[in-house]
Structure 1
């Protein structure tokens, strides 16, 4: 395999390579996120930023070195396409196939999932669906479709999906409805507040100022989540519903 490595970066600029290595190392410290989770988040960031050159190649290499395969990577791209945008995910899919051809890497086996495009309903929480339908019925239909056609995915865990969508929110700065829902999904799947915070903090290497803003919003969401149920407050109830 001749995919680029840290040595390739050092050859471009030794000082930059040292800076980047120290930054990624610090962002990934602690046992709150697994190596696989950090790699998936790096790939999500590449898609959102459309950074599909050397960084994407390095993250693909890291994914393959840590047990992910071509089918896993394609499910990740299919999963995030509704949040990252289909054009962004398609560009990454085309680049992934190109990398596989260029370096003689194993391609996909053709295993996918059942795309329930012609069905009805949605696995989204009823309260969320009602809120969106009141906003715009046609958009609600689109959201129902997006959730339904992903229901058969199994290669990327619920925890990893929550982290992936939170990463999209941070990079796109969509820190209102969707970020609240995705943080709720993570907490509802048993992710601890410290792990949620670590997932947000891991985005810092892709733009520190966006992470800074997201951490402020996350503090409010976690405070809402921890609000005692007996206080009669509505913020904690809303976070619980979104989970």
Structure 2
């Protein structure tokens, strides 16, 4: 896909601009991951950092104008991201996303009432939660309940939800039990090792060392 506002990036600094645009063109080239999946990876990572400035703006507009996501789908992405990235920063991301979409000429009213939560069981296997349940049963119940509430909703696909969780893990450096559980969920959703490897390459834009660690952690899962 064509990058948005290349001149805004290039004007920041000639060397950095070239670096950033080169990375962007590689990310948005035709690969195994779909354009909307890449948008969700970038938006989830922005929220986790958190970074709600120019990069977030460009990723939101890219999602709306190039990946043809609706505002309601972006709302749902933020709903899904919230428990993993944090409720407080996600509330700020909602405000910023709505403002960007409105200024870009999109209807920002929610039509969530048209969508109902499904009945699919929570994605976490009981074996994934066993250690947490032993350490803190209440927290394990919360994780299971929240994932059950979100996972069955029909607005986003399961691949997209799994990628959002993994983006937050990789960019946030959470590569222990949650990462292993989320890799299992991603594989169950149909993401293969080649696609997961591509995901880590994309996320290297946010931190090469963390992507490096994630690549090694993925190999061991």
Alignment of 1:67-216 (within 5 A): 67-111=68-112, 113-114=115-116, 122=122, 124-216=124-216
Q: 1:34 to 1:48 in 2, by over 3 A?
A: same
Q: CA offset at residue 57 of structure 1? A: 0.9
Aligned residue for 2:9?
9
Q: TM-score, normalised by structure 1?
A: 0.80
Q: What is the DSSP-based 3-state SS (H/G/I as helix, E as strand, rest coil) of the residue aligned with 1:104?
A: coil
Where in structure 2 are there 5+ consecutive unaligned residues?
none
- Contact persistence 1:129–1:140 (CA under 8 A): yes
Q: 1:151 to 1:165 in 2, by over 3 A?
A: closer
Q: TM-score, normalised by structure 2?
A: 0.88
After superposition, the CA RMSD in angstroms is: 2.2
Determine if the alignment matches structure 1 residue 23 to structure 2 residue 23: yes
The CA distance in 1 between the partners of 2:191 and 2:148, in whole Å, is 23
- Contact persistence 2:9–2:20 (CA under 8 A): no
Q: What is the DSSP-based 3-state SS (H/G/I as helix, E as strand, rest coil) of the residue aligned with 2:112?
A: coil
* Structure ID, larger Rg: 1
Q: What is the DSSP-based 3-state SS (H/G/I as helix, E as strand, rest coil) of the residue aligned with 1:12?
A: coil
Q: 1:62 to 1:122 in 2, by over 3 A?
A: closer
Where in structure 1 are there 5+ consecutive unaligned residues?
222-243
The CA distance in 2 between the partners of 1:183 and 1:210, in whole Å, is 16
